[in-house]
Each structure stands twice: as C-alpha cells, then as structure tokens.
Amino acid sequence: MAALRVSLILAVCLLLGHQTFAKNDAPCQLSKWNNGFNTFVKRHIPGGIPTSLDQNEWKKYIMNNGNCDRPTQSFLHQKDLERVKAVCTNAGGKTHKQNLCISQQPFNFVTVRSEQGTCGIRSVRNETKHLILACEVLQNQCVPVHFEGNPDSLKPENNARGCRDPQIKDHAPSFKMTWFQLLLVLLIIIHGY
C-alpha cells in the first residue's frame, strides 16, 4: 500500500511539473527559457550571412555555422533588429494566437531549404511576409524567442489587440489542471499520505 501511495504522489508531481513546460497562452508573459532571445538572434539575425542567393555561398555559411540539422531556416537582416524586436510591442505587432505576434508591416528575409543533416541546399529565396514571432518577457522586456513560419502569407487582423496589450498581465499563465490530474490529487487526498 505504501508503494502505491509513493507511486501516486510521484505521478502527481510529474504531471504538475509538466505544466511548467507549456507554452504561454498569450504574448509578453514571463519566459520559461532564459536564453530564448539570444538563441533567436543567433539563428535568425546572425552576422556574416551571404548577401547573394548563391546556393554555394549559403551551403558554405550553413556548414560553417553548424545548422545542417534544420531543413528550413529563415535569416533576417541585422539592420532590422530593432524592427524585429518591435513586433513584440503594440507599435509593431498584433496578437496572433497563444504567445505569437504578427508584424504589422512585412519584412524582407532569406529562407534557405536544405537536406536535413547533409547541408545540401534545395533552395534559397528572398521572401517578403509578415513575421510571426513568439514573444516573451526576459529581463523586463518583451522580445522574440521563436520564428514561426508563415506559409499562407497571413497578415494581422484589423481588430487584433496589440502584441503588448496592457490588459495582458506580465506573468506566467495561470495553472490549469486536467481532469486526470484532479482525479489523481483526489485519490491521494482520499487515501491519505
């Protein structure tokens, strides 16, 4: 019987702990990933990217920067860093869904598609689209932490709230318990520990 109680307590702890890995349910809430913005910049706004669409140049760049495991990569221009960060504000972005914001203005960027693991380049092309970015709060600033694809060339909805809407609290989402988690907690309470 003691083993069952320990197992139930461990199961509840694991299920409740799993909640901390969930995405934020709105933009500009506290990030659970402290290095998210730096990783975003390293992946999508790095220095030294090729200035042409030459596949050989891009293959060399991707091979030298260790990104062969990502089959689709999008690269923004360093001169646009402040505009990209502004997508996570009322002035530059609108809420899209969950923790995603969509830019109010289109951006120019390069998308490289490659053979996963081989760095064999399938295509390199310039694109002009509205950016869809996951925006989270790090060091009291709402910043992009993830670049979401926009294959349907979506634009912001006219009535959407600004990305950093004052009605959205700057905190992690409230805890939501599933029915299964609630049942486990009740079992533990009923049987005592």
Q: CB within 8 A of 70, min separation 6: which ones?
A: 43, 114, 116
The CATH number that applies at residue 54 is: 3.10.130.10
Q: Is residue 180 one of the residues assigned to a domain?
A: no
Dihedral Cα 99, 102, 103, 106, nearest 10 deg: 150
Let me know if residue 142 belongs to a domain. yes
The whole domain housing 129 covers 23-170
Please, is 80 exposed, middle or buried when counting C-beta atoms within 10 Å of its C-beta (0-12, 13-18, 19+)? Answer: middle
Phi, psi for 179 (deg, rounded to 5): -60, -40
Q: Does residue 88 sit within a domain?
A: yes
Q: What domain count does the chain have? A: 1
Question: 40 and 144 in contact (C-beta within 8 Å)?
Answer: yes
Q: What is the mean pLDDT of each run of 10 residues along the chain (193 residues)?
A: 48 44 81 92 95 95 87 95 97 95 97 90 97 95 96 95 68 49 60 64
Model pLDDT, residue 125: 96
Residue 40 has a CB neighbour count (10 Å cut-off) of 20
What pLDDT, on a 0 to 100 scale, did the predictor assign at position 13?
Answer: 43
> Could you tell me the pTM of the whole model?
0.75
pLDDT at 72: 94
Q: Is 50 a member of any domain?
A: yes
Res 185: pLDDT: 56
Sign of CA dihedral 90, 143, 123, 71: negative
Side-chain-side CA neighbours of 5 within 13 Å: the count stands at 8
